[in-house]
Structure 1
């Protein structure tokens, strides 16, 4: 696998591409008339160009592809099938979003495609042997270590693999939707991609998983390069291509880390705020008699912005809570059972605190 220096070089290349590719992508998007028109769900007031997530997708495809394909060219005897699965699964999610941006898809077709992507990813992770083992050239079994220091569980019985596959399918497909729901303010998705990527990269470095370090850096660099385009006038949005790419990359990387032996909290830390916001909001709407899939502006991050905070301020508040949850997850790499339980309680407290912020924060004029 490419070393630490090589991973940072690939991350830097991804960042530069993500910064520069919009110059080529924007004219094509304008020609197609792909604009985001304000609706019941929007927090902006004027039509804005969307679909710039295509530039992020291309940049991450180059960075992830380089990480997967360069080792043989550099004389290494193996490639990481885990990294290949992460790259291809993320790109598939992004391309599904691109189809939604360009032509629109029915809810049924979109849902089936999300389940298919998640099914293919879980199958590749759980049943398909490594193309070349990172250690010995032999097939590499699934490794689970829910708590740091506990004995790893490998190989799993068939019923365990089936349960893990069901979890993966629901987990990945749902988080792609979650990331799409949460893409409603300038900066929020870009910050999320950077924080999640850095958290995964740190987990990869600390656990010795080179593929995870590289995948995390590519994720952070891809969405970091989008932020200047999103936060400066006239601005531009990721579109479904970008939000699906974000959800897919984060969820697939998280699951791949889990089945590679990274403790559970370290893999889920960057995602709990997003899951918490969407979950609490949907429960509230259903209890109030509203249809869960109707457009609305009732997410915690939207209600914070409605208090008079700017897009960037509200996005940074969400990002700060995500960063704190991610740090708690990374701390689980150094604790045993009781420490992990304490960190779990701490993470849940962060989620509760975040969902209460629309009530706790002062209104701004």
Structure 2
């Protein structure tokens, strides 16, 4: 049987079983002032995604050993992701201070960045690449977490990116990485059934943070190879732009950037009356548009312009809708 078929069956089965178990356990996310939901919903569904990913990794380790160095680096990345997932699960339950969370993210980010850029010559330029790469990975990790506020948006992003990156990594002869992203995509796609359009369970930080870490790692793999270098950032432009736009707007107002809020564009659009499933579908469309642009060979500037134009149009539309509804931005 083809390995990808086995990974599919394994991923769907494990994710479904664990998700249903987490729903029965019933650790509830009680709605607050910033919540998009109005009734308590079970949380921690990211546990199912990570267990599904773990099952796929064990299968690959036992039955399809890859070259030692490739498997070692991929294994270390997985350990970092699972470590962050474990910490995030504890944070979901105990609510650690923001500084403690940042420290955990930094440790995982440094590990992932070094693994992605391992083998580059030890020069000043390599050092700068590691610093910039780590900054990008931690940004993506937090951005995906911030955007996990309405049904299907974050987990759909993970599913789309994972399944799109799978064949491209395979073509680039990165077989272990390809199999990992396929397992991630299948896990997210399975969980999406329980989360969209009506959520029976939420993913929570235990899923969004480690998955964001892995997407950041994927971005570094493409940047290092030099083929489709901006593919992942272009695919993620919807969430990256929303977070950057929101942070800049809040900074200009002198607000505390570490304080929780509900001022993201997607949240404002929801409060202004736009359908939540439609907002999610729009962000999925941003992914496919960014992927299409990223696979073309039209130059970096043109790629950035083509993916940023829809974001500025979206931001302008949301601001206009908010003003019509007399909502605070």
TM-score by length of 1: 0.80
- What 5-or-longer segments of structure 1 have no aligned partner? 128-140, 143-155
Task: Summarize the Cα distance change of 1:234–1:168 in structure 2 as closer, same or farther, 3 Å threshold.
Answer: closer
In the other structure, the counterpart of 1:10 is: 7
Structure 1 residue 233 displacement after superposition:
5.6
Aligned to 1:346, which of 282, 296, 306?
306
Matched, 1:80 2:71: yes
Of stretches 218-227 and 39-48 in structure 1, the one that deviates more from structure 2 is 39-48
Q: Contact conserved, 2:195 with 2:202, CA < 8 A, in 1?
A: yes
Q: Aligned partners of 2:168, 2:254: CA distance in 1, in Å?
A: 42
Equivalent in the alignment of 1:254: 219
Alpha-carbon shift at residue 222 of structure 1 (Å): 1.1
| 2:176 paired with 1:211 | yes
Task: Select the residue among 234, 247, 250 that pairs with 1:285.
Answer: 250
Please tell me whether the aligned partners of residues 40 and 296 of structure 1 are also in contact (alpha carbons under 8 angstroms).
Answer: no
For 1:21, the equivalent position in structure 2 comes to: 18
Aligned 1:1-365 pairs, distance under 5 A: 5-28=2-25, 30=26, 34-72=27-65, 78=68, 80-127=71-118, 141-142=119-120, 156-231=121-196, 235-331=200-296, 335=297, 338-359=298-319
Q: What is the rounded CA distance, in whole Å, between the counterparts of 1:227 and 1:273 in structure 2?
A: 19
Tell whether the 8 Å contact from 1:303 to 1:358 is kept in structure 2 after alignment: yes
Q: How far apart, CA to CA, are the structure 2 residues paired with 1:107 and 1:318?
A: 27
1:263 counterpart SS class: coil
Pair 1:40–1:294, CA change in 2 (3 A): farther
Whole-angstrom distance in 1 between the partners of 2:178 and 2:320: 37
* Distance 1:344-1:110 versus aligned 2 partners, 3 A rule: same
What is the aligned residue count? 323
RMSD: 2.5
TM-score (norm 2): 0.88
> How far off its partner does 1:82 sit?
3.7
Between 1:167-176 and 1:50-59, the stretch displaced more is 167-176
For residues 178 and 116 of structure 2, what CA distance do their matches in structure 1 show? 18
Shift of 1:260: 4.3
Q: Measured at CA, do residues 220 and 234 of structure 1 come closer, stay the same or move farther in structure 2, by a change above 3 Å?
A: closer
